[in-house]
A and B are shown apart, each in its own frame.
Chain A
Amino acid sequence: MSIDKNLTWQRILIIDAGDVDVTQPLSADICIVGSGAAGISLALKLADSGLAVLLLEAGGLKAEPETQTLYSGSVTNTLLHSPPDTYRQRRFGGTTTIWGGRCMPFDEIDFEKREYIPHSDWPISLEDLEPYYPEANRLCEAGEYAYTMDSAFNTPRPPMIEGFESENFSTHTLERFSCPTDFGMRYIHKLRSARNIQLVLHANVINIQAGANGKNITGLTISTRDGKRHQILARTYVLATGGLETARLLLSNNDVHKNGLGNDHDVVGRYYMCHIAGTIGTLHINRPLTSLWHGYDISDDGVYCRRRIALRPGTQRNQQIGNFVARLHHPRITLPEHKNAILSLLYLAKPFIPYEYAKRLHGDDRASFGTWLKHVRNVCAGPFDAAGFAWHMLRDRKFADRKFPSIIIKPKAPIFSLDFHAEQQPNINSRITLGEEKDIFGVARINVDWRYTHGDVDTVSRSIALLAEDMKNTKIGRLEYNPESVEYEMTRYGAYGGHHIGTARMGTDRHTSVVNSHCRLHDIENLYVASSAVFPTSSQANPTLTIVALSLRLAEHLKNTAA
């Protein structure tokens, strides 16, 4: 099928599935399901490639509660995982409409087979992704692909913690922040101007048809919420529906493949990972505040960058633990004992902060009236601090296109808490399955059974213990924390929200993986996955930059195979 034969629909670049003529199937060379970070990056890379591209999106241009409920499902342990209709968005732009924008590439070690981390083998290396990271950075609007202080800044900056030299931790690597870019709104004009892309909104993919021999996909069925159905035909199909929905779609299409697509060996939905994150302890630093920098640096291209305390690869290997980073953080907001007007203001502003962000800021705990009153007192004691902060948030966050990424509180003394973000190990028993309940299209809803392992507790406990030791040995400071509380703190708010990883993992062995190194289902020659679902391991890094890099790599592969 060539683009010329599709000219009739090519002229209408963005349409609603409800307006499509049902007597004619929509056809294309490549059909991408889902218009989040993955789907849009893939489509943009295929722009003007000569291949007709159909981009199907379940939602509309704005959030719609009825569409969002199609994401709801059940959770085995609600203390450990948030409901599946939170921390993801079913709309044009996908979850990038609410993401935080923290970008960093995976580390070299993340791709290695680490004997001490079960199932930790990627079939590709950092080298394979490196050519795509700069463009991924551009699409995420995170500036240059430069993730160390030396490469990102021409002029020297003050150290993060003066005098802190450690064999176990580095402090020169960076995270860079996207605007955060809503991929839908940012790139809609690019999709419009590409002559070969058609975006269909309100196109819920409800069925994926496998050919009788099970070796290829012959079509998709889409439906609008009011039941208007339509047939889609393409040479190649890509699921870019996020880590949870990809598993759902693969599992629920089980007419030819009895266990679901790509699931002959019961791998789809398993190895489900998020990240392990939390805030712990009190770090007293024996240095004046002027020798510390825990805030943002702004790169020449205007991007907010932040340094972290990162566990070195050598130490990960020696200690046989996963990847780990930590940041200097403010005291826990919920505790009025911090006596900080700004933190108390944030506490009181909880009703105005979106659920996904409020959860980690405030926890789910119900505060007593007394606690509430103490926070009010804190605000009254520091009205200028609170007003200054409110102004900064309005100017640099609310009304800025490039938003100040997070809350940075300048402490009055060199005392911080430690905010950590760690790799979760792949665990065969942590999984997404289909539940009993069905949505309006008759598609089974998911059940999330997220589980962590001793290995995960070990990664966090040993990293924190090492950091405490290094602080002490270098006489930089002391980290006070209760080692017994590590497991509680790392699961206090459950799995880190919004990072849905590993449910259709990449590998060379079809018994332990779902897709091959080009993200194609092992046994279905024209079905691909573009998502963090394919990551075999989770790294310390947030997933989106790598999702985009992998999508760009996939686009190139699709262009080459089409040629």
Chain B
Amino acid sequence: MSMRESGRIKDAEKKRVLDDVTRKRRARKALEALEQDNFQQDPHADLVMSKKIPKFNNSLDNNPRRKGRKTRGADYYRIKYRKTFQQLLEEDRQANPNGPNYITAQSPPTSYPQRHFCAVCGFPSSYTCTSCGTRFCCLKCQGTHQDTRCLKFVS
């Protein structure tokens, strides 16, 4: 066993064990992260979008049918139709509780057993971290896991 390994055993954190609720929350957060559009912050958040974008209205102005009619602009739609996905889902559930709808269309749970993969290298794993429940396949991967992710980022 390497120096790193033996050093870690003395580590007080080693004895902490995450409870089920925390494990589930962690798993949910990991899945939510896979929905994100970006990991980084907007590099130019102050960039005023509307001024830099070609406007369709310009080409419409020559159309006689348009005379006197005003277009509403992107802001109007943003404000009028401001609904988050969660709100849309909730409204739909109330208006149409029996479906068929978004909720009823969800693919049911699989009948195949769960396969387990090492969180570090991706190969099939047969061991589970006693502290946090993450899977690993060998001592080397266990070491990497404990050094990098095991009880880090616990909120």
* A is bound by B: no
Q: Residues of A with Cβ closer than 8 Å to B?
A: none
Question: Which residues on B are within 8 Å of A, measured CB to CB?
Answer: none
